[in-house]
């Protein structure tokens, strides 16, 4: 067995042992196909107020500019699909990814452990871990690594598990055995496009983020435009609609990670309790949660916007 094949097998086995759902490898290089798409997407302002997406354009397209001498991008998936859901059907909804501890911390810990393993078992390897917090095109690299295909809603899809998972990477100066991309299995299905209440999915694989409920409830820092009144479908933080209607998500299985389990108190809150949530309750419930990104003031803004619809 060649050394790079042995190293690849060791890394993938350890990734699965650490709890990752899948692990794949792509050769580090320039994302030629994505470059013109990203440029056009930014030019059309589909990123809204997420101006940070305009920064580090070159680094976003070439991991060798992030890690000197980079040869491989190791992509990992972590399942977050919850076993239990919010109980009150009238309660304002949170996207499922935010039910547990902030995924940035959870995945970073696991990637650090994977990096430590590489140092112990393989030797002197330089690299960096990335989790949705640097100019790395996560889905593009996961797709190149054969972990899935990009669905019409722009999320990564996998035949056996759907799309309820996080993506992380190790960019390494280690030569590994690259995987082969998989075929697109969306076919003629347009359920995600048809179901989006704000028409954020303009066409297959083209999202106007400034219309997306996730953007409106998290990234947008000012008041939500009145034009979206009555279109939010009770989502107070994020949105799962395009995932809920996707046929591939019927294969989603509950995650078994203790850090990602929701607090029972949050699942049991009714609509009235959500509308009257205090900052003290917010800080207790979402101490280590991704919901803290919107802050108490942001969540209250979202709740008040939803409440106006029912008055």
Q: Is the pLDDT of residue 175 over 80?
A: yes
Find the mean pLDDT for residues 112-116: 98
Total-model pTM: 0.95
Going by pLDDT thresholds of 50, 70 and 90, the confidence category of residue 311 is: very low
3 state SS of 140: helix
The pLDDT tens digits of the residues spanning 260-300 come to 999 999 999 999 999 999 999 999 999 999 999 999 999 99
- Give residue 134's pLDDT: 82
The pLDDT tens digits of the residues spanning 185-231 come to 999 999 999 999 999 999 999 999 999 999 999 999 999 999 999 99
Going by pLDDT thresholds of 50, 70 and 90, the confidence category of residue 309 is: low
Find the mean pLDDT for residues 123-140: 93
Mean pLDDT score across all residues of the chain: 96
Find the mean pLDDT for residues 148-169: 97
Bridge partners (DSSP) listed for residue 56: none
- Residues sharing a CB contact under 8 Å with residue 275, sequence separation 6 or more, in sequence order: 92, 303, 307
- Give residue 294's pLDDT: 95
Q: Is the pLDDT of residue 103 over 60?
A: yes
User: What are the residue numbers of the active site?
Assistant: 132
Report the candidate in 21, 17, 26, 3 with the shortest Cα–Cα distance to residue 181: 26
CA distance 191 to 245: 6
The pLDDT tens digits of the residues spanning 10-36 come to 999 999 999 999 999 999 999 999 999
- Give residue 133's pLDDT: 74
């Amino acid at each position: 067995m060649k050394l790079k094949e042995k190293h690849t097998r060791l890394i993938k086995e350890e990734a699965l042992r650490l709890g990752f759902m899948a692990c794949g490898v792509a050769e580090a290089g320039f994302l030629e196909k994505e470059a013109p798409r990203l440029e056009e997407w930014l030019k059309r302002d589909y990123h809204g107020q997420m101006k940070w997406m305009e920064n580090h354009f070159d680094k976003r397209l070439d991991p060798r500019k992030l890690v000197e001498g980079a040869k491989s991008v190791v992509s990992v998936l972590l399942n977050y699909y919850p076993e239990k859901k919010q109980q009150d059907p009238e309660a304002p909804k949170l996207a499922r990814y935010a039910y547990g501890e902030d995924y940035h911390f959870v995945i970073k810990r696991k990637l650090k452990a994977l990096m430590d393993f590489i140092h112990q078992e393989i030797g002197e390897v330089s690299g960096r871990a990335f989790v949705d917090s640097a100019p790395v095109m996560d889905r593009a690299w996961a797709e190149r690594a054969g972990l899935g295909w990009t669905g019409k809603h722009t999320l990564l899809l996998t035949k056996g598990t759907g799309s309820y998972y996080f993506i992380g990477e190790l960019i390494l100066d280690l030569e590994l055995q690259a995987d082969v991309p998989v075929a697109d299995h969306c076919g003629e299905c347009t359920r995600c496009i048809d179901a989006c209440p704000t028409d954020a999915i303009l066409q297959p694989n083209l999202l106007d983020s400034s219309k997306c409920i996730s953007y409106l409830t998290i990234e947008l820092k000012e008041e939500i435009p009145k034009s979206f009144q009555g279109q939010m479908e009770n989502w107070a933080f994020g949105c799962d609609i395009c995932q809920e209607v996707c046929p591939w998500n019927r294969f989603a299985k509950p995650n078994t990670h203790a850090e990602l389990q929701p607090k029972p108190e949050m699942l049991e809150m009714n609509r009235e309790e959500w509308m009257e949530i205090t900052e003290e309750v917010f800080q207790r419930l979402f101490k280590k949660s991704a919901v803290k990104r919107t802050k108490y003031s942001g969540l209250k803004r979202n709740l008040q916007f939803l409440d106006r619809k029912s008055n």
